[in-house]
């Protein structure tokens, strides 16, 4: 694989410290206060002193340390990566065993963001070497992932396949292999867990909390470089790593060195790093927020700092307060293992758009069964069930309702889901996709039924626990029930159950 | 590219060196296919027993997916991807 040439330092030229916003009555948070807070907890220093120290850190104007592979360099060890720290007087070699003092001595939080480059497409290129160097698209209906070769034609995730084919007619289109991607992701995340006490994982990225591991790991940049090497050796995939004093900065600095890059930013450099970036890069600003802000003549993250918190709250609700902090480089969100998710979704598009109610209800029952099993594994019960449909003409609709009592047993949830589907599926148009989403969870305990069916509820809960054990041992496809049996000869099966066209991998 | 599901139990000659399994050749029907390259390998840990997957390029140039089920140590030929 060709090595990427990254120049993170170019985006991180030292800025004069005087332009950093200082604490004021309206801006009670110093630019790197969250890091200063962490220093207080770790070092037992007075809060004010810690804040002073953090502001001084800005004044020193040190900048991002970006580590990128040199062109043509092999992928062995840290001796092959270079420190492109602009403020360090050129580009000193970053040899093995060298201690990165700033990483070791940083008193606050250290978060490592690991992002798998062009995840699905890279796996397909890995599985079939004939695809390497070619534009590869993974997705059905829309692009779920595309290779970097495809991106040179303007393709990007979320784009409709019709548009993608117009822009790049010779692209190889693959519907995808969700279960394989999950296996690769688990392999990578297991390596992240080996170096970090807390790892928060998503579909193709992970946040690793390295706070307090300086003595264990020594040079955290070298640790990240070793992780990159391990992941590549085990899976053949490249990842981009960003190290920062919080999640937001770690992810953002990683984005500057994609693909296959490694960069670090210190708390003191956050202000200069963020100020001139387009505001779309700030976490929490999507297309709608960006449009609103651009119409008000705000273009950069630094511009956003002119708005007081109450104005941002008036514009964007509760999210406004977060934006107020984030545009100053503050992000106090912890890295957690997400034991209880906000929602559990299972959705898929049909291999062929269908108006066959039996097939649609069968698919819904199958998806409800998968989602209920996921909830039982997490020992949580959903109170709210939502069903959404997308018609073949692109129109979509969703309805949600709450159960009388939170439940994780398939028939209880399915009854409500089918009712929602009957209300939703009213047009004489074939369905393209269907999905179910659980939310508003309660911790699982003994299922409380009504006075007269309590015994029945207990028996039903025991039955589904037994189902889970069988499926755990022999795969989900070992037991298929009810309407889902109608899918039996229509869909391919593997040990994980039916092979869906575009299954949701995580939510 | 054209992928075809096969899902057949096959005989595989493999190297189990240093704790790493590497398929060397497999027989499908009367024909033996020599593995010229292992493109990717991954492990599916769902269920009680893991399954080990291999994407291999055979001497014909086609790419096959092989699976070793650790539960019964049976090799399966899952699919083949051909040009065109």
**Residue in B with minimal Cα distance to A478:** B47
A132: left (phi over 0), alpha (psi -120 to 50) or beta: beta
pLDDT of A348 reads 85
Rounded distance, CA A254 to CA A242, Å?
4
Helices A33-43 and A47-60 meet at what angle, rounded to 10?
130
Q: Does domain A279-326 have CATH number 3.40.50.620?
A: no
Does residue A21 have a pLDDT over 60?
Answer: no
Smallest Cα distance from B27 to chain A, Å: 21
> With an 8 Å Cβ cutoff, is A128 touching chain B?
yes
Question: Across residues A222-239, what is the average pLDDT?
Answer: 96
Say if the Cβ atoms of A127 and B40 lie within 8 Å. Answer: yes
Closest Cβ–Cβ partner in B43, B63, B65 for A183 = B43
H/E element, A216: helix A214-217
Closest Cβ–Cβ partner in A126, A131, A475 for B46 = A475
Smallest Cα distance from B5 to chain A, Å: 9
Rounded distance, CA A421 to CA A148, Å?
39
Segment among A101-105, A292-296, A471-475 with least mean pLDDT: A101-105
Please report residues of A whose CB lies closer than 8 A to that of B1. 128, 130-131, 172, 174
Task: Count Cβ–Cβ pairs < 8 Å, chain A vs chain B.
Answer: 54
A454's tokens: 């309590």
Does residue A103 have a pLDDT over 50?
Answer: no
pLDDT of A495 reads 65
Smallest Cα distance from B83 to chain A, Å: 9
Q: Any residues with CB less than 8 A from the CB of A53 and at least 6 apart, and which?
A: A36, A39, A45
pLDDT of A50 reads 32
Which residues of A are annotated as catalytic?
Answer: 205
Segment among A32-41, A188-197, A365-374, B53-62 with least mean pLDDT: A32-41
Rounded distance, CA A392 to CA B60, Å?
41
> With an 8 Å Cβ cutoff, is A179 touching chain B?
yes
Angle at A204 (CA atoms; ends A386, B43), nearest 5 degrees = 100
* pLDDT band per the 50, 70, 90 thresholds, residue A42: very low
Please report residues of A whose CB lies closer than 8 A to that of B76. none
Residues B68-71: contacts with CB under 8 Å, at least 24 apart: B68/B12, B68/B14, B68/B21
pLDDT of B19 reads 87
Does residue B13 have a pLDDT over 60?
Answer: yes
Give the CA diameter of chain A.
Answer: 78
Closest Cβ–Cβ partner in B42, B47, B81 for A184 = B42
In terms of average pLDDT, the best of A21-30, A33-42, A338-347 is A338-347
Q: Any residues with CB less than 8 A from the CB of A441 and at least 6 apart, and which?
A: A340, A341, A375, A380, A381, A382, A383, A406
- The string of DSSP letters for A394-417 reads S-EEEEEEE-SS----HHHHHHHH
A114's tokens: 């690991």
Three-state SS annotation for A132-188: CCCCEEECCCECCEECHHHHCCCCCCCCEHHHHHHHCCCCEEECCCHHHHHHHHHHH
Interface of A with B in 41-100 (CB under 8 A): none
List the domain boundaries for chain B: 2-82
- Mean pLDDT of the residues in chain A: 76
Interface test with B, best of A119, A128, A503 (most B CBs within 10 A): A128
pLDDT of A453 reads 61
Say if the Cβ atoms of B1 and A174 lie within 8 Å. Answer: yes
A401 near A448, Cβ under 8 Å?
no
A169 preceded by a cis bond (ω within 30 of 0): no
Say if the Cβ atoms of B53 and A183 lie within 8 Å. Answer: yes
* pLDDT band per the 50, 70, 90 thresholds, residue A81: very low
Rounded distance, CA A384 to CA A401, Å?
6
pLDDT of A382 reads 92
List the domain boundaries for chain A: 8-110+210-274, 279-326, 343-498
For the stretch A150-204, pLDDT in tens is 999 999 988 999 999 999 999 999 988 888 998 999 999 999 999 999 999 988 9
Say if the Cβ atoms of A183 and B37 lie within 8 Å. Answer: no
For the stretch A312-354, pLDDT in tens is 888 888 888 888 988 888 888 888 876 677 788 888 888 888 9
Does residue A34 have a pLDDT over 60?
Answer: no
> With an 8 Å Cβ cutoff, is A274 touching chain B?
no
pLDDT of A195 reads 95
Closest Cβ–Cβ partner in A180, A187, A474 for B47 = A474
Domain covering A343-498: architecture: 2-Layer Sandwich (3.30)
Over the range A105-141, which residues count as b (16 or more CB within 10 Å of their CB) and which as e? ebbbbbbbbbbbbbbbbbbbbbbbebbeebbbbbbbb
**Residue in A with minimal Cα distance to B5:** A492
Residue A23's DSSP bridge partners are none
Smallest Cα distance from B38 to chain A, Å: 9
pLDDT of A84 reads 32
Does residue A432 have a pLDDT over 50?
Answer: yes
A230 near A146, Cβ under 8 Å?
no
> With an 8 Å Cβ cutoff, is A184 touching chain B?
yes
Among residues A297, A323, A326, the alpha carbon closest in space to that of A310 is found at A323
For the stretch A460-482, pLDDT in tens is 888 888 888 888 877 777 788 88
Does residue B35 have a pLDDT over 90?
Answer: yes
Smallest Cα distance from A130 to chain B, Å: 9
In terms of average pLDDT, the best of A100-104, A107-111, A256-260 is A256-260
Does residue A241 have a pLDDT over 50?
Answer: yes
Smallest Cα distance from B31 to chain A, Å: 22
Smallest Cα distance from A184 to chain B, Å: 7
Cα B82–chain centre separation? 15
CB atoms within 10 A of CB A293: 22
Say if the Cβ atoms of B1 and A473 lie within 8 Å. Answer: no
Question: Across residues A71-86, what is the average pLDDT?
Answer: 34
Please report residues of B whose CB lies closer than 8 A to that of A496. 46
Please report residues of B whose CB lies closer than 8 A to that of A128. 1, 39, 55, 63, 81
pLDDT of A447 reads 52
DSSP helix/strand/coil, A449: coil
Say if the Cβ atoms of A474 and B48 lie within 8 Å. Answer: yes
Please report residues of B whose CB lies closer than 8 A to that of A123. 40
| Predicted TM-score (pTM) of this structure | 0.69
Closest Cβ–Cβ partner in B40, B47, B51 for A126 = B40
Say if the Cβ atoms of A492 and B5 lie within 8 Å. Answer: yes
DSSP helix/strand/coil, A440: strand
Question: Across residues A391-411, what is the average pLDDT?
Answer: 89
Q: Which residues of B touch A (CB under 8 A)?
A: 1, 5, 37, 39-40, 42-48, 51, 53, 55, 57, 63, 65, 81, 83
Distance between the two ends of chain A, CA-based, in angstroms? 31
Interface of A with B in 97-126 (CB under 8 A): 123, 126
pLDDT of A448 reads 54
More confident residue, A458 or A147: A147
pLDDT of A214 reads 87
Question: Across residues B56-69, what is the average pLDDT?
Answer: 95
């Amino acid at each position: 694989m060709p090595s990427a040439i990254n120049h993170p330092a170019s985006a991180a030229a030292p800025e004069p410290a005087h332009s950093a916003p200082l604490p004021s009555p309206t801006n009670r948070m110093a630019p790197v206060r969250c890091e200063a807070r962490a220093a207080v907890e770790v070092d037992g220093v007075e809060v004010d002193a810690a804040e002073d120290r953090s502001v001084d850190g800005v004044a020193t104007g040190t900048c991002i340390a970006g580590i990128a592979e040199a062109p043509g360099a092999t992928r062995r060890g840290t001796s092959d990566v270079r420190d492109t720290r602009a403020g360090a007087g050129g580009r000193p070699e970053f040899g093995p065993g060298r201690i990165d003092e700033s990483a070791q001595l940083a008193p606050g939080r250290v978060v490592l963001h690991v992002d798998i480059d062009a995840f699905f497409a890279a796996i397909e290129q890995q599985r079939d070497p004939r695809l390497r160097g070619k534009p590869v698209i993974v997705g059905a209906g829309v692009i779920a992932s595309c290779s970097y070769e495809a991106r040179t034609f303007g393709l990007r995730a979320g784009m409709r396949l019709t548009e993608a084919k117009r822009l790049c007619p010779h692209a190889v289109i693959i519907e995808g292999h969700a279960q394989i991607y999950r296996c690769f992701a688990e392999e990578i995340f297991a390596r992240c867990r080996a170096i970090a006490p807390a790892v928060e994982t998503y579909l193709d990225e992970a946040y690793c909390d390295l706070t307090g591991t300086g003595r264990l790991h020594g040079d955290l940049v070298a640790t990240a470089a070793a992780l990159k090497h391990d992941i590549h050796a085990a899976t053949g995939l490249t990842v981009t790593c960003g190290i920062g004093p919080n999640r937001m900065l770690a992810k953002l600095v990683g984005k500057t060195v994609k693909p296959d890059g490694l960069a670090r930013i210190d708390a003191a450099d956050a202000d200069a790093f963020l100020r001139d970036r387009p505001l779309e890069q700030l976490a929490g600003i999507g297309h709608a927020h960006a449009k609103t802000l651009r119409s008000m003549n705000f273009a950069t993250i630094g511009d956003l700092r002119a708005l007081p918190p109450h104005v941002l709250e008036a514009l964007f609700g509760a999210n406004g307060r977060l934006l107020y902090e984030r545009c100053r480089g503050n992000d106090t969100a912890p890295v957690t293992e997400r034991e209880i998710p906000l929602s559990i979704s299972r959705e898929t598009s049909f291999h062929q758009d269908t108006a066959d109610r039996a097939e649609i209800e069968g698919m819904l029952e199958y998806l409800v069964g998968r989602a209920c099993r996921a909830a039982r594994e997490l020992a949580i019960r959903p109170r709210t069930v939502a069903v959404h449909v997308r018609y073949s003409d692109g129109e979509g609709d969703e309805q949600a309702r709450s159960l009388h009592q939170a439940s994780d047993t398939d028939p209880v949830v399915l009854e409500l889901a089918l009712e929602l589907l009957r209300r939703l599926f009213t047009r004489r148009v074939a369905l393209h996709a269907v999905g179910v989403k659980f939310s508003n969870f309660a911790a699982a305990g003994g299922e409380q039924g009504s006075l007269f069916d309590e015994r029945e509820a207990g028996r039903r809960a025991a039955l589904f626990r037994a189902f889970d054990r069988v499926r755990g041992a022999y795969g989900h496809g070992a037991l298929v029930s009810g309407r889902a049996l109608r899918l039996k000869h229509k869909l391919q099966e593997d040990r994980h159950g039916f092979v869906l066209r575009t299954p949701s991998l995580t939510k | 590219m054209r992928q075809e599901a096969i899902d057949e139990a096959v005989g595989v000659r493999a190297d189990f060196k240093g704790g790493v399994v590497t398929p060397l050749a497999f027989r499908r029907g009367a024909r033996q296919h020599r593995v010229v390259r292992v493109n990717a390998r991954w492990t599916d840990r769902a269920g009680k027993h893991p399954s080990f997957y291999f994407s291999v390029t055979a001497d014909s140039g086609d790419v096959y997916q092989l699976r070793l089920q650790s539960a019964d140590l049976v090799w399966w030929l899952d699919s083949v991807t051909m040009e065109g």
